[in-house]
Amino acid sequence: MVSLSRFLKRYRKKRIEKYLPTMDQLFSSQLIYSNYIASKPSRFMAFISYATFINLISVVIKCWILYFLPPFSPINFYLGDPGFILGSARKTMTILLSIWCLGSVIQHLHFILNSGDRGDHNWLLIGQVLATNRYKKIGVDPNIVKSFYRQVQLNCYLVTLAFLLFANVPSALLAPPQFRLPMMINAITHSWGCFAIVSYSVNFVLIYGLFVHVWLDYLELLNDRLIKIMTMEVKKKSNEPDLLDHCATTIQLNEQKLKILLIHMTDHYQELIACDKFYKIKHTLIFSYGFIAQGMVIFLLFFNQFSIMYKIALFICGIFNSIFFQYLQFFIGIHGQSKINRALRNLHKVLYISALPKTKLTLLMFIDHFVDRHFFTIFGSLQYSTHNLILALLELASLLLLLLTNYARSQKNY
């Protein structure tokens, strides 16, 4: 048992190292570079990646400066303020942009810390799926992998293009003639920062979703093997198909097969836990600043008057914020936890079937470690569940009601 367990851990490490070039290609397409992940050192990609990160930091600094400047100050135009024509909504828009940018800066710092030589690299196991359309011993639908790559590119370019055409270009064209050149230059750098926001935040949610999908498929394979072991032994003793659901004390399991299966299941769960060490911090960060930003998007869309171009850009960004920063993680967690609970229920049935005491003890230790454990959480304890999803929606609805009440009161006073 010990030797097989060690072999599986070594095999996991080899899978990570073998498919690093695939992950390098994926991240290079998103202007992300890491010395550990890179298959070949590239000064050009390193320069582009660092320049992207520095540009995003500069956008955060510019947002803070613009917040304290009047809308038609010359410095304002030299810094490329995209919201100088928004009137009273300008400062709120500036805060919103700074939240998205600052959150993404923190996300990338977390990525850098976890992609170094001493980082936790288990989350890179998804490289096997992207390179071979396989996960361990099971095949993955090639259409799913193609859809993943297509969605990653679509996210980056759709949001960036929408932000450029509907928010930055109109501001540059409406600026005084002498400031149009710096406004256009800043429009490009701001859109570059938007690309980085999607790369650093949104697309990691898709990577996690693909990993959970293939992880659950392999869990179902192990679960089917467990059912097969129990069913084969039941058929040896009885022709009753429903005997498995009762206390079949006269049935003896194949001890060796059960032990090997438990080792594989333990390693499989440990793989999810190891990957979650990386993702739980990212999800906490994404949900935190995404929830704050969503309230500001609602306020800007419903309670401010500005051009339809800005509303379209803000609406697209708001949709992406809702889906990828909040609700998609909940749906992944709810689906994943339900599949895990169903698989663990079958292990409980083994306890009602005769087995050696040592096997039952091993099984009890496994169940005690994994049953009633929540594998999908944020903030260290908040579970991704239907209950908490409803609470998040209610909090958002309450925020909207508060905004409506405050707006109605201000209109009445006016």
What are 325-346's pLDDT values in tens digits?
888 888 888 888 888 888 877 7
Measured distance CA(183)–CA(270) in Å, rounded: 51
Q: Domain residues for 291?
A: 13-413
Q: What's the rounded Cα separation, in Å, for the pair 296 and 246?
A: 56
Mean pLDDT of 78-106: 87
In the chain, the percentage of residues whose pLDDT exceeds 70 is: 83
Residue 354, SS3 per DSSP = strand
pLDDT at position 249: 43
Work out how many domains the chain is built from and give that number.
Answer: 1
Does 275 reside within a domain? yes
Beta strands (DSSP E) in 27-77 are none
In a domain, 3, yes or no: no
**Greater confidence, 151 or 372?**
151
Tokens 């048992």, located at residue: 1
**Which amino acid appears at position 27 of this protein?**
F
Residue 349 lies in a domain: yes
Residue 79 backbone phi and psi in degrees, to 5: -85, -5
- pTM of the entire structure? 0.84
Over residues 62-75, the mean pLDDT reads 88
C-beta separation of 202 from 155 below 8 A: yes
Domain assignment of residue 377, yes or no? yes
Whether residue 267 lies inside any domain: the answer is yes
- 306 falls within a domain: yes
CA-atom Rg of the chain in angstroms: 26
DSSP one-letter code for 383: E
At residue 404, does pLDDT exceed 80? no
Alpha helices in 323-385 (DSSP H): 328-350, 357-370
Which one is predicted more confidently, 411 or 35?
A: 35
Cα pseudo-dihedral 146, 147, 153, 157, rounded to 10: 150
